[in-house]
Amino acid sequence: MATQASRFIGSIPEHYDRGLGPHLFQDYAGDLARRVAELAPTAVLELAAGTGILSRRLRDALAEDCRLLASDLNPPMLEVARAKFQSGEGVDFRQADAMSLAFGDASFDVVACQFGVMFFPDKQKSYAEAHRVLRDQGSYLFSVWDSWAANPFAQITHEALKSFFPGNPPGFYRVPFEYCDVEEIRGQLLQAGFAEVTTHTLPLRSPIRSARTFARGLVFGNPCLEEITTRGGEPGRVCAAVEKAIREQLGAEMPLQALVVHARKE
């Protein structure tokens, strides 16, 4: 699984958690955790758990006796996630590839994933694996970003990057926002064997608590950092430009929009 997602290493997890978590992920994590808890599961698998932003919300929302297994391809991300839990909280951590899950058939009531599916290089295979590890009547709940138009921070960041590399701009900020066709997603899930698929568009307004911290997350908190350095760029200068663009074009808050998908197994 050699993809953009496999490059969340080094100092990236800390910048991701501190800079992006409060601005992009926390509110959506609360919503997804609520949806999962309403299903009253006894065993939950989280894919692409990252730094544990959703994991923490899931553990707080789920019944005490519900088993939670948080997985991610990248051990450095999971190390940040582990620090958010005390021993005995009933959450296990496991390195796992969403295209080849090392879990038995029918092991979980719910599989959950927040903003990870967009990075899976073989989405059809990942859906088949989620279907396989779910019990009958189990549910796969996940979120993906809607388009650039609904999430202007991404295009603003891309344009700031492009100003430094006009002939070969880093492409990271295209990847997470290009998998938002509802019919495509539904069709792939049905092909993987799911019996019923529902989608919900969820817009939010997110306060920009600190343009500087947010900009550092946008530049230093994902594989975009590698794209900048391999092009000979100076991440600090790029970060300053992203911060300036955020202040001027977004101000004190920004619109966000995601698609929340619920696929049910017969």
Measured distance CA(211)–CA(174) in Å, rounded: 21
How does pLDDT run across 181-215, given as a tens digit for each residue? Answer: 999 999 999 999 999 999 999 999 999 999 999 99
The whole-angstrom separation of Cα 169 and Cα 233 is 11
Query: How would residue 4 be classed by pLDDT, with cut points 50, 70 and 90?
Result: very low
pLDDT number for residue 2: 39
CA pair distance 215, 244, nearest whole angstrom: 9
Q: Does the pLDDT value for residue 111 go beyond 90?
A: yes
**Confidence category of residue 5, pLDDT binned at 50, 70, 90:** very low
- Banded pLDDT at 11 (limits 50, 70, 90): confident
What is the C-alpha end-to-end distance of the chain, expressed in Å?
29
Give the tens place of pLDDT for each residue, 79-110.
999 999 998 999 999 999 999 999 999 999 99
Angle between helices 152-164 and 235-249 (to 10 degrees): 140
E-assigned strand segments in 24-162: 43-47, 67-72, 91-95, 108-114, 134-145
Say which residues have a Cβ less than 8 Å from residue 232's Cβ, sequence separation at least 6: none
pLDDT confidence of residue 10: 65
Predicted confidence (pLDDT) per residue in 34-60, tens digit: 999 999 999 999 999 999 999 999 999
Alpha-carbon separation of residue 67 from 63, 70, 83, 92 (angstroms): 9, 10, 18, 8
Per-residue pLDDT tens digits for 118-164:
999 999 999 999 999 999 999 999 999 999 999 999 999 999 999 99
Using a 10 angstrom Cβ sphere, with 0-12 exposed, 13-18 middle and 19 or more buried, the burial of residue 190 is: middle
pLDDT, position 8: 61
Amino acid letter for position 22: P
Q: What is the pLDDT of residue 140?
A: 98
Across residues 158-183, what is the average pLDDT? 95
Domain over 4-147+174-205+256-264 is classified CATH 3.40.50.150: yes
Burial (Cβ within 10 Å: 0-12, 13-18, ≥19) of residue 186:
middle
Reference 204, options 139, 118, 161, 143; nearest CA is: 143
